[in-house]
Amino acid sequence: MSPVVAQGRTSSCSEADAERGPGVRDDLAATLYRKFGSPLLAFVITLTGGDRLWAEDVVQETLIRAWRNADKLDTEPEMLRAWLFTVARRIVIDGWRSRKARPQEVEEPDADAVGVPDESDRTLAAVVVYQALEHLSPEHREAVLQTYLRDRTVNEVARTLGVPPGTVKSRTYHAVRALRQALRDRG
């Protein structure tokens, strides 16, 4: 006879167990853990996505439920194993559901660590680019303004300026090269 079962039913808190002492239920939990602990833990680790700490908690809760329901457990090891695995799976499902139902907790950031948006860098960059644009020829400056700042296509700029599209491409290319050089010179 299996150490888990006694006369067709598992050890529980029956009158006979009360006469034998409080250690009977503890023996049941220890026996269940020895027999089913490792395979149950491996199974639960896969259910928890590799979270070993959560898996260990689930195995512990499963064994506690088996201990509480000792008088209702089936005596056959296959049925006991199935019961344990089913209970563990349901505990994990409940855990996933509760995690989805509650928003994840985050700590409030320290007031000193909160960054305030600073537009000074952006403004300074705009001033530097504007000054570099002033050093371009009027044709090159207009090509850059139309294509990059007004977000127009080469064909639209060509119609606006009254020049062929190839000329707009050439002016834009040379203007961008001159801007890069001017910005490098400024540091």
pLDDT at 56: 92
The helix/strand/coil state of 112 is: coil
Most confident of 56-60, 106-110, 132-136: 56-60
User: Is 80 exceeded by the pLDDT of residue 33?
Assistant: yes
pLDDT of res. 80:
86
Q: Per-residue pLDDT for 20 more than 60?
A: no
In whole numbers, what is the pLDDT of the chain averaged over residues? 80
Provide the angle, in degrees to the nearest 10, between the axes of the packed helices 52-68 and 23-47: 140
DSSP state of 10: E
Of 1-10, 24-33, 108-117, 127-136, the poorest mean pLDDT is in: 1-10
Q: What angle do CA 97, 101, 102 make, to 5 degrees?
A: 125
Res. 136: pLDDT tops 70:
yes
With contact defined as beta carbons under 8 Å apart, do 58 and 95 qualify?
yes
Neighbour-count burial of 48, counting CB atoms closer than 10 A to its CB (0-12 exposed, 13-18 middle, 19+ buried): buried
pLDDT in tens, 150-161: 889 999 999 988
